[in-house]
Each structure stands twice: as structure tokens, then as C-alpha cells.
Amino acid sequence: MNLFHRLFRKNKENIDISINDILLSVHPPLNTILLSINPDGLSTYLSDRNQAISWYHKKNFPLQDHLTDLGADWFYTMSCSAENDAVWKEAWSGFHFALEGYLHLNKKNKIADTCWHIGRSHSALGQYDLASLFFDTGRLLSKENNEIELFNRIILEQAVLAKLTQQNEKIKTAMNRMVETFFPAGQPLPSAKSAALTLFKEGDKHQQWVDKNGKPVESSLIYASGFYEVSIELNRILKDKMGIAFILTNFGTLWNKLGKKERALNCWKEALTNFTVIGDENNIRRINQWIKEL
């Protein structure tokens, strides 16, 4: 039985292990990247990993041998399903099992992708420092592996994360990186428009979540706001008035659900201006009615 199997086998009594016991078992490329991002990056990853696996076991969720191809893929698929349903803690914990398996199997593309997914879980849960660590790790690994599509997606999600942190320096850095990626030499790549649409759809999906009583979920609305903000930025650069108008329409509804009436009004007024230029009479009537009812 190799080091990974001794340290990470699924028996519950082996979950609470010392970080020092597993330092040498961490995948060398991941180890190097984590330490390059932050001197505490490796220990932060290991701590998050331990918490995720411990939480999963306490819930008595189903188990597979995650150090095999079949088991790692099982955890990955289960976690993607949880992520799609915004069950973020289950997604977070399951992705850690999958990541550990992919590290053991040295599946480079899956390692980068799974780091991105763990970052998404932390971002949705409002754990922004952890999200940043995993996004940076996924971005650097995907760049190293020449996975352009994944790299670009992480660039977008890092911009979303920066908007959520509301820290000006982080927003500036992330937005500059996004512009450099999707508008090299000032010209939009064909993927820029689809990127803006993808972000809009993500925002719309998270805006729709309600609790068991049918009320909007505040954390999901806040998460959605980050996607809308970055999507608007892309559409403004693209000068896509239709895209801007639809995002602002949704954004106004989001702010209204959060009780921020002035922000809702400002979004709907700007959306109305764009719909007027376009000549979209149906949306003009609809938004005028919402403004009257606000």
C-alpha cells in the first residue's frame, strides 16, 4: 500500500491526520504552485482538504475509493451535480475527494479543473481568500497545461470574485487581466461575446434560487451580482446595448429583492435608456411599470 493509500484511505479513523504527515505526499507541481501563490498556500490547502473530508464523513454520505479512476470520477460527477443545484458545501467536500484522486493519478487536466470548481464553491460560500487560492492554482495549472478554455473561464471567475470582495486594487488587477485576455491589442476575441453571455446566464441561474419557503436566498443573490457586474463590463466594452439592457433589467430585479430600491431604480432607468435606443417597446412598457410600482 503506497503513501497516498496509507494516508488517505476512506476509513473514518484515518481522517483527522496531521498536516505534517502528508506534506511529502502532495503532488509536487501543485505543491510548488501553492507555495508560489502564498507562503501559507500549501498548509491552507491541506487544512481546507482536511475540513472538507471530515465534514463529508460526518454527514455519512456515500463513499467510493477516490484514489481510483472510477472513484475520483464518481466524486467529481456527484460534486458537479451538487454545484449545479447550489448545494455548495457538498460540492466543496466532494471536489476535494476528487482532487485528491486526480493528484494521486496525476491527471493534470482534471487537477486544474477541480481546483477551479473548489474555488467556485468557496466564492459562493463567501470564503473569498480560499476562493482566490484555488482560482489562482487552477489558472496557473491550466496555463501550464495549455488549457485555454479553462484558463479563460478562471480569468472571468477571478474578475467575479474581485467584484464580490469590493476591494478596488483586486478589482483593478482582475479586470485588467480579463481585458488583456479577451481584448488583446484592444480588439475583442470571438469568445468575448460568449463570455459575457455565459456570465449573464450564471448570474440569472443563481438569482433564481429560493429557500424552502419560496423566499430569495440572499447569499445566492450576492453571488449572482458578481456575475452581472463582470458581464456588464464586457458588454460595455463590446458596446452591446441589448446585452447591457437585459443584464441591467435582471440586476434591478436582484437589487429590489435585496431591498435596495435606489440601486434597482438606477439599473432599470439605464436599462430603459438602452431599450429606448433599440426600440424594444415590450421591455420599455414592462420596466416603466416596475418603476411605477417600486
Question: What are 216's strand-pairing partners?
Answer: 210
Residue 30: its pLDDT value, please? 87
The answer to whether 56 touches 94, Cβ cutoff 8 Å, is yes
Residues 244-262 have pLDDT tens digits of 999 999 999 999 999 999 9
The answer to whether 210 touches 229, Cβ cutoff 8 Å, is no
Residues 45-102 have pLDDT tens digits of 999 999 999 999 999 999 999 999 999 999 999 999 999 999 999 999 999 999 999 9
Residues 107-145 have pLDDT tens digits of 999 999 999 999 999 999 999 999 999 999 999 999 999
Residue 16: its pLDDT value, please? 45
Residues 148-183 have pLDDT tens digits of 999 999 999 999 999 999 999 999 999 999 999 999
d(CA 50, CA 73) in angstroms, rounded, equals 20
pLDDT confidence band for 29 (50 / 70 / 90): confident
The answer to whether 118 touches 99, Cβ cutoff 8 Å, is yes
Is 147 strand, coil or helix?
coil
CA dihedral 224, 230, 233, 238 (to 10 degrees): -100
Query: What would the DSSP string read from start to end of 219-288?
Result: HHHHHHHHHHHHHHHHHHHHT-HHHHHHHHHHHHHHHHHTT-HHHHHHHHHHHHHHHHHHT-HHHHHHHH
**End-to-end alpha carbon distance in the chain:** 66
Residues 206-245 have pLDDT tens digits of 999 998 899 999 999 999 999 999 999 999 999 999 999 9
Is 166 strand, coil or helix?
coil
Instruction: Give the mean model confidence (pLDDT) for residues 284-289.
Output: 96
